[in-house]
Amino acid sequence: MKPKIFVTRKIPHQALSYLEKYAEVAMWEEEDIPVPREVLEKEIETVDGLYCLLTDKVDEPLIKRAKQLKVISNMAVGYNNIDIRSAANHGIIVTNTPDVLTETTADLTFALLMATARRLVESQHFLHQGKWQSWSPMLLTGQDIFGATIGIIGLGRIGEAVARRAKGFDMNVLYYNRRRKPELEARLNVQYEPLNDLLAAADFICILTPYTDETRDLISDEQFKLMKASAIVINTSRGGIVNENALYRALVNKEIWAAGLDVFEEEPVPLDHPLLTLPNVVALPHIGSASIQTRVNMAVMAAKNLIGVLQGNPEDASIHKVNRN
């Protein structure tokens, strides 16, 4: 008999076809609405594999309902939506989809940096609202990117890719990471700085570190006070790393110049969120990896991770386990 799989959202046909070769597949058909909790609770009781997204909370109460679950495959590089410890305690392997979204997310990070620095969204609204009457010397002037200093917090795969893009703009690249990377320092000509020194020196501060207990509220009131008044904060990592209330205060009090955000602590972000009222905030709906090819590649990788584990090959190097150790 084929193993049973539940897929929590409508996924690209390439991934679904792959799953259906090897398993009996049930799928939540609503493309833009997360699977209701009660449906997920029912489905997880009888499946061998769960294919989920970062919008699905796979916590200990849910895991305890599973009677034969062997693998949770997350179609995301992050996995803070899953209780990894509980899964491990129940002998369930958890997988994710790293690497494939690195360059696409770096593209979006730099695009958001540029849009925020040059006030592109604000300028578009200005034009559409009929406010553009004539050319003016200081109309909608922004911040220079070429030759500026960028501080990257979290020099992982995406951080490295952003650093490479910054070098194309002749930027001075600083980074802070939980461990230094001398090989990258030499190869990319980037400089390690303690966090507080980086915050004080950088014109652009890019948050690219994973969300953990240690990084929650990593950037808050104290950190904003260290930054330049002209500094721009970009977060394409996870909500909760930048304290949103502190960010709002820093922007309103002109402690920093602007912010570009692809992620929020609560997603979708409420439309009455104070940050959305500010003209110097560019806000996006978590589209860091949202290119067609990357999303298809992520979906297929998640499918292959899941089937690989179910076929008894959990140590295969091509299977991206997050609880390997």
Q: What is the set of active-site residues?
A: 238, 267, 286
Residue 245: both structure tokens together = 């209330």
**The residue to which tokens 């991206």 are assigned:** 320
- The pair of three-digit structure tokens given for residue 95, joined into one six-digit string: 């997988």
Determine how many CB atoms are found less than 10 A away from the CB of residue 162.
Answer: 29
Question: DSSP of 234-276, one letter per residue?
Answer: EE-S-TTSB-HHHHHHHHHTTSSSEEEES--SSSSPPTT-GGG
Please state whether the peptide bond connecting residue 268 to the residue before it is cis, i.e. omega within 30 degrees of 0: yes
CB 253 within 8 A of CB 280: no
d(CA 218, CA 231): 17
What's the chain's length in residues? Answer: 325
Angstrom distance (rounded) from CA 220 to CA 246: 5
